[in-house]
């Protein structure tokens, strides 16, 4: 599974020549309301199995959580279910707030 640091994701998102990935936020709703990356899609880990059909297995996606642990497990699950373009955001939104967007609320 691929891993990506927040600064690497920021560079990707800032590159107009590169297609944007699906930013898949797998935290709970209250966490997403507290802080999230602009454009991220909320799909809580707890609902993943019942909502798997909503995702395109061919689409490049970056899976996001608080510290990168839940997203790692979700990315592995997605890969095991035929998703081939899955990347885990190492450090999650916490690392994003520390390394990229210091104005982002943390918890």
Which of the 8 DSSP states describes residue 4?
Answer: E
Distance between CA atoms of residues 61 and 36, nearest Å: 16
Note if 35 is an active site residue: no
Given the residues 26, 37, 65, 95, the one annotated as active site: 65
Distance between CA atoms of residues 29 and 59, nearest Å: 23
Q: List, in sequence order, the alpha helices (H) in the chain.
A: 6-14, 29-34, 48-51, 69-80, 92-99
Long-range pairs for 13-19: beta carbons < 8 A, 24 or more residues apart:
19/60
Q: Cite the active site residues.
A: 65
């Amino acid at each position: 599974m691929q891993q990506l640091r927040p600064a690497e994701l920021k560079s990707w998102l800032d590159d107009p020549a590169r297609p944007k990935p699906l930013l898949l936020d797998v935290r709970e709703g209250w966490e997403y309301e507290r802080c999230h990356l602009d454009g991220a899609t909320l799909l809580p880990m707890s609902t993943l199995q019942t909502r798997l059909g909503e995702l395109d297995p061919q689409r490049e996606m970056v899976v996001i959580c608080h510290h990168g642990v839940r997203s790692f497990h979700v990315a592995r699950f997605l890969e095991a279910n035929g998703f081939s373009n899955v990347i885990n955001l190492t450090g999650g939104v916490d690392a994003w707030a520390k390394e990229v967007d210091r104005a982002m609320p943390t918890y």
